[in-house]
Structure 1
Amino acid sequence: MTIPAENTVAWFQIGSDKPAEVEKFYGDLFGWNFTPDPDSAGYDLIGYPGGQAPSGGVAHSPDASGNHATFFVLVRDVAATVAAAEGFGGKVLVPPITSENGLVFAHILDPSGNNFGIFTPAP
Structure 2
Amino acid sequence: MSAPAFDTIAWFEVAGDDADALQRFYGELFGWRFAVDQEQAADGTDYRIVSYAGDDRPLGGVRGVDDGATGYAVFTVAVRDVEKACATIEDLGGKVEHKVVGSDASPDCAYVRDSAGNLFGIFTPKAK
Instruction: Please report the TM-score for the alignment, with normalisation by the length of structure 1.
Output: 0.48
> In proportion to residue count, which structure has more strand?
1
